[in-house]
Amino acid sequence: MAVPPEVETRISELREAIGHHDFRYYVLDDPEVSDAEYDALVRELRGLEEQFPEAVTPDSPTQRPGGWVDQTTFAAVQHVQPMLSLDNAVDLPELEAWHARIRRIADVGYRFVCEPKVDGLAISLLYEDGRLVRGATRGDGVSGEDVTLNVKTIRSIPHRLALESPPAVLEVRGEVFMPVAVFEELNRKQGEAGERLFANPRNAGAGSLRQLDPRVTAGRRLDTFCYQVGAKEGGPRLRSHWESLEWLKECGLPVNPDIGCASDLGAVEKFCAEVLGRRHALSYEVDGVVVKVDDYGHREELGATTKAPRWAIAFKFPPEEKTTVLREIQVSIGRTGRATPFAVLEPVFVGGSTVGLATLHNQDEVARKDVRPRDTVVVRKAGDVIPEVVAPVIAKRPKGARAWKFPTECPACGGPLVRLEGEADHFCVNFDCPAQRVQRVVHFSSRAAMDIEHLGEQTAVQLVERGLVNDVGDIYALSLDDALGLEGFAQLSAENLLAAVEQSKGRPLPNLLVALGIRHVGRAAAVELARHLGHLDRIEGASQEELEAVEGIGPVIAQSVRRFFDSKANRVVIDKLRATGVNFEVPGGGGAGSGGPGGGGLPFSDLTFVLTGGLDGFSRDEARAAIEERGGKVAGSVSKKTSYVVVGTDPGSKLAKAEQLGVPILDEPAFVKLLEG
């Protein structure tokens, strides 16, 4: 049956939100929502897709492992085997439902291994002939960031396995974390030096592992637990997970001593309760327990989805809650004008960090919870992110505390705040609102968009306040004198900012489409629009029907694109970008009027590529962009429909799959020649 328009809209919103939060979590190490809020978004999306299977797309977050690879700071490397995500259970009924599902697949007496879920950063360690040759972050599950030099500074990770006859290849999965005591000492020193404090051990650990200078990582005293054998060539035959953990210990690899076995579901639930009861007594942060089927034969029978193994689940602990005083309620304005209320709190330590702000979502949530300034409130925080106000403690409400009313005027510009029909949110409808302008500049310059280094929020605020930037098109008119006039900018930093601005002009067309902030247009939609239409002028001039003819672009996205380009203010910005030489086309895409829907004129329009191994002349992101700019697609796995497999150094199993299926294989010189041709 057809998907109702309102459902299609909500699915698009959920996918965009999940992608945004993935970027904040995996790349910036600066999440905006709690684990519980994120999981709720994924659950809602999965529920809608189960109700309307025709709405499922291959790039949906429910169809792939979560994660993100930063390919600008560290080289991208491909995992020998994909690092899948885990499905979650947030209470005992969901854990029992998982158990019932695997019993329906195979009605056997499962034995389980239960592991405290360390709140750190997933890592893949690759050993060849017993020698550590690579350490990589999880990334997007298929490829990660090469952090080998930093990994080698972690004392618990051996550079050589403690085996006389090590396997030819051994890939091990683990978790890098910062012990609680080390985190507290680090923050004490940061405070004494007047430097920024880390929010929690997870953020501190992730940031420490991803330092450009390995000496900084070495000074952070990170630790590791290994929990899984990945690819293995040689060595003993391992029949169970418990057996593999014992063997990892023999290899000299660190294994969490708090891991235990459970003979049935009742024992699993008891183990989870015990870890929850002593979570704060552990030397490391935990946010749950990972439950795994022990027997490898049973695992093979259970199999996996494209996102997660069926034989494992993460039992997530409930969010932690504390009470504190709500000082006042304020409103922030985002780049789209959305006005979001938030609570200013008496600082309280909850969920591993001290917090002073909490989201209140929208007017309806404030009214439903009936939270008021000066209330004592319950604050909930799961893991390491911004908390939410759960409810007021009515018994402690001070006399005279009045219900909060949503302001009628924007706190940034004084313009009206309007609640649109059918919307839960209020919006500042003044397009020239300085708060909106700042956030549009921040979004435009972000890594996922035009990637303008040195142009963060503080710089954006100065540019807008001084009248130097009224819209994102003005970024490209900045002079050296303008930059030198900014607080904190000297000659070198000013020159670096302008160089970054100039470099951004050559970003691929999908990046520009993302940067423009068109509602509902995320990376996947931007790639398809660029691939099929080839030039921003053709996208701007396309009718809604022509936009809907593009693969993956439904009526909601098409209507949003049309509305964006119908705006006179947006067309002024586009004209500024065109005049300053910002790239508007994919290679071979031609100018306005050339080609049309279907990617006419694009040399790779009917080709699908798979990348494996490291390339000398390209990062993984650059190689993907080069293919997409020419109209091609990049897939994560090899099939009979694959046009070419591009092979670099240290290729994974995809090379063997390509050879087996007879798919054409390109080394790097041949790939370059194809691009140039």
**Which residue spans within 249-386 are E strands per DSSP?**
260-262, 286-293, 312-316, 320-333, 338-350, 353-359, 376-381
Angle (deg, nearest 10), helices 434-445 and 457-465: 140
- For every residue of 162-227, DSSP letters joined together read S-SS--SEEEEEEEEE--HHHHHHHHHHHHHTTPPPPSSHHHHHHHHHT-SSHHHHHHT--EEEEE
Tokens of 581: 């030489």
- Amino acid found at 614: G
Dist. CA 144–CA 136, nearest whole Å = 6
Q: Which residues contact 235 (CB under 8 A, 6 or more apart)?
A: 163, 165, 166, 167, 170, 247
What does DSSP assign to residue 6? Answer: H
Dist. CA 537–CA 591, nearest whole Å = 7
Residues 644 and 633: beta-carbon distance below 8 Å: no
Dist. CA 574–CA 587, nearest whole Å = 20
Q: Which residues contact 440 (CB under 8 A, 6 or more apart)?
A: 335, 471, 472, 517
Three-state DSSP class for residue 148? helix
Kind plus residue range of the DSSP H or E element containing 645 = strand 644-647
Q: Which residues contact 670 (CB under 8 A, 6 or more apart)?
A: none
Q: Which whole-number Å values give the CA distances from 608 to 65, 523, 627, in the listed order?
A: 21, 18, 9
Round to the nearest angstrom and report the end-to-end CA distance of the chain. 44
User: For this structure, is 117 an active site residue?
Assistant: yes
Using alpha carbons, select from 421, 428, 472 the residue that is nearest to residue 450.
472
What does DSSP assign to residue 293? Answer: E
The alpha carbon dihedral of 214, 216, 221, 222 has a sign of negative
Three-state DSSP class for residue 431? coil
Q: 18: exposed, middle or buried (C-beta count within 10 Å: 0-12, 13-18, 19+)?
A: buried
Give the phi and the psi of residue 492 in degrees, each rounded to 5.
-65, -45
Using alpha carbons, select from 208, 199, 207, 355 the residue that is nearest to residue 285.
199
Q: Which of 117, 292, 316, 369 is catalytic?
A: 117
Query: Where in the sequence numbering do the catalytic residues fall?
Result: 117
